[in-house]
Amino acid sequence: MITPEIIEAHGLTQQEYERICATLQREPNLTELGMFSVMWSEHCSYKSSRVHLKRLPTKGPIVLQGPGENAGVIDLGEGLAAVFKIESHNHPSFIEPFQGAATGVGGIIRDIFTMGARPLALLNSLRFGLPASKQNRAVLRGVVSGIGFYGNCIGIPTVGGEVVFEDCYSLNPLVNVFCLGVAEQDKIYYGRAKGAGNSVYYMGAKTGRDGIHGATMASAEFDEQTESKRPNVQVGDPFMEKLLLEACLELMQSDILEGIQDMGAAGLTCATSEIASRGESGMKIQLDSVPQREQNMTAYDILLSESQERMLMVVKKGHEREAERIFNKYDLHAENIGTISDDSWLHIRFQGKEVATVPARALAEEAPVYSRPLSKSANGYADCAIDLPGDYNEVAKQILALPTIASKNWVYRQYDYTVRTNTIATPGTATPMIRLKDSSVSLAMSADGNGRFCELDPYIGAQIAVAEAARNVVCSGATPSAITNCLNFGNPEKPHVMWQFSRAVDGIAMACNVFGTPVTGGNVSFYNETEGQSIYPTPVIGMVGILRNRAPLTPHFKHEGDTVILAGPAGEDLGGSRYATLGGPLRGPCPSLDLDLEKRLQNALLQANQEQLIRSLHDCSDGGLFTTVAESCYGGYPNTLGCELAWEGSGRPDAFLFGESQSRFILSCSSESLSRLNDIFEFYKVPHCVLGNTHGREIVIRVNGKTLIRLSVHELYDIWYNSLANLLR
């Protein structure tokens, strides 16, 4: 008997239950109710976000596969394709930081090799509460250890990312993981089950009770009962995943698979229903054949378990022995658990009985879609009205010591970022980049977001997130090509949260249309709230850029006497900046952004790099122009190089130095290149000015004839490099 209490415990509304009954033309049993509860959860069905996500641009000349599959695919030329995606594992990483982060890495890796691509690089976008808190430090340590453990063990380099600290993430850390792989274009595989009579195989780790209702947990706010949800977190085994990876790629090379799907959120229920629905097929599944590591498991347990490192694959009829030979080669447990049928239903049998009979499409595609109420609410943040600093040198040192701006060497030293020898830009030195051996292609990657700006204005803030990701790619010399996104927001049942989400989607769409970077897929993470406290709206953009037949640009100054140029406006924005909150809460307004100017500026820099006019290039972001200059000076440590700069203007000196106005780059060039650079900037009609030259071992900055900054590069490097590590000792 399904009672209202049971329905509520499964995260379903009474209306949703009635819809299930109408779909089945009867009441579901408990097992079927569980299947619907996970597949119709926010985490799996996107029932609150679908109406908005349709507005994103998803097509383009290089897009081979957009949203709807395990990962997006773009054309790299030379018969190659890049396969990439970003996903969140936020809720599990707060409950159990190590395993939550580790299994997040494992899940995104499976999304990539499920498509037939060999994973080559990982990035992560992490957000934590302020590290002064013991609890926040513990979560940070656990997450970083989990990411390092999984990536290092499986042998996929973690080549970069971002780490941000804000108080609003104290009870809701964000763990977003990006993975990129490369495949041959004619060997892309899809999660589609076709061919009646083909065999359905389960391969990988045995099924346990870990992770049951993990998808449902990720579709609800946290409260004082958070600790009790620890059993919903899965446990990962990267060594098993390595075997799965190699076995799957070999199976794909032998052309005996009709379809393949990993068992991630919602486990076997998700894998069977999605792969059958995409293939417009059905399945007959025998749960007794599913390998189990715990005794007395029920059909409900087996179908909803989110145990890790498991794959579902459809083997072409007559090729079963060949598949089993490959399974055995890698010492992987694999079982034939069923066959493909042509009736579009899942028929699940267990212990001699049919325990679930459900239409695959109803589970995978026909969850209710909600157009939830939208309501703009005043953010309540005062505009910047701060006095000019008395000591600019002291402010500069304070900014470099901030945890978000300081070096993340404590983090990335725990990652193996050179394994497989494809990495050509290491963490902390430049935009993450890998080469593709035996080709002319290198790939730049960026994972960027700014919750502060989106809190102040979600529409402009989301545009800035896309622009920032594009800037980072351009700073490597690569052309921004496509994005994936991870949209982290609060409770969608609250109208102001849905307004934030809707505006952020529109902002991403607008920016992607301007930059020509279609959205190939992504992830939505709602319910990032605990006891009513929400995170900042935080869209994270994972962008891929393509560079051909050229070494990458790097951000650090290289030659004494080079000319230092500000490309872009001088800037007048203080709102949302780290400087403006040194002594208090977040202040507005959000910085403005001219997308047309941004695009023209990026195109100018790309052309200048093609003509080999630029020696270093660094975008201005967190901490403003001063932080960019400082990082350009000590980026080649121990070969540091100072500079003497001067600016004349009518704006506030602190806004010029520390404000976070958009569309600004610091670049260096030889004196011989300056004339041609000016011509390019004039052609693209972008503002620019010569600030000075590289020189000595100090940073000296004069504004309107007054020396405001005079600091030793080595002193600044010591502050920047050690501040976060000292906090975490």
pLDDT of residue 230: 46
- DSSP sequence for 153-218: HHT--EEEEEEEE-GGGSSS-EEEEEEEEEEEGGG---S---STT-EEEEEESPB-STTTTHHHHT
Amino acid at position 705, single letter: G
DSSP labels, 53-86: HTTS----TTEEE-BTBSSEEEEEETTEEEEEEE
Of the candidates 391, 446, 539, the residue with the CA atom closest to the CA atom of residue 178: 446
Q: Is 43 one of the catalytic residues?
A: yes
Q: Which position among 10, 43, 91, 496 bears the catalytic label?
A: 43
Tell me if the bond preceding 589 is cis, omega within 30° of 0: yes
Q: In what order do the strands lie in the sheet with 345-350?
A: 257-262, 310-315, 199-204, 334-341, 282-286, 345-350, 353-359
- Cβ atoms of 687 and 370 within 8 Å: the answer is no
CA distance 265 to 262: 9
Going by the DSSP 8-state scheme, the letter that residue 352 receives in this structure is T
CB 78 within 8 A of CB 441: yes
Separation of CA 14 from chain center: 34
Annotated catalytic, 618? no
Give the pLDDT score at 212: 83
- Check if the beta carbon of residue 564 is closer than 8 Å to that of residue 480: no
Beta strands 345-350 and 353-359 are: antiparallel
Residue type at position 495: P
CA atoms within a 13 Å half-sphere pointing along the CA-CB vector of 120: 25
User: What domains does the chain contain, in order, with CATH numbers?
Assistant: 4-39+190-364 (3.90.650.10), 50-187+407-548 (3.30.1330.10), 392-396+553-727 (3.90.650.10)
CA–CA separation, 322 and 332 (whole Å): 14
Extract the tokens encoding 308: 């890790």
Q: 13 by DSSP, 3-state: which?
A: coil
Global pTM value: 0.96
Q: Which residues of the chain have pLDDT under 70?
A: 213-232
User: Which helix H or strand E contains 472, and what residues bound it?
Assistant: helix 458-474
Q: How much is the pLDDT for 404?
A: 97
Closest by CA to 155, choosing from 433, 425, 416, is 416
Q: Which of 52, 89, 91, 618 is catalytic?
A: 89
User: Of the candidates 88, 238, 154, which has an alpha carbon nearest to the alpha carbon of residue 539?
Assistant: 88
**With contact defined as beta carbons under 8 Å apart, do 90 and 173 qualify?**
yes
What are the pLDDT digits (tens) for 467-507?
Answer: 999 999 999 999 999 999 999 999 999 999 999 999 999 99
The backbone region for 96, taken as left when phi is positive above 0, alpha when psi lies in -120 to 50, beta otherwise, is beta
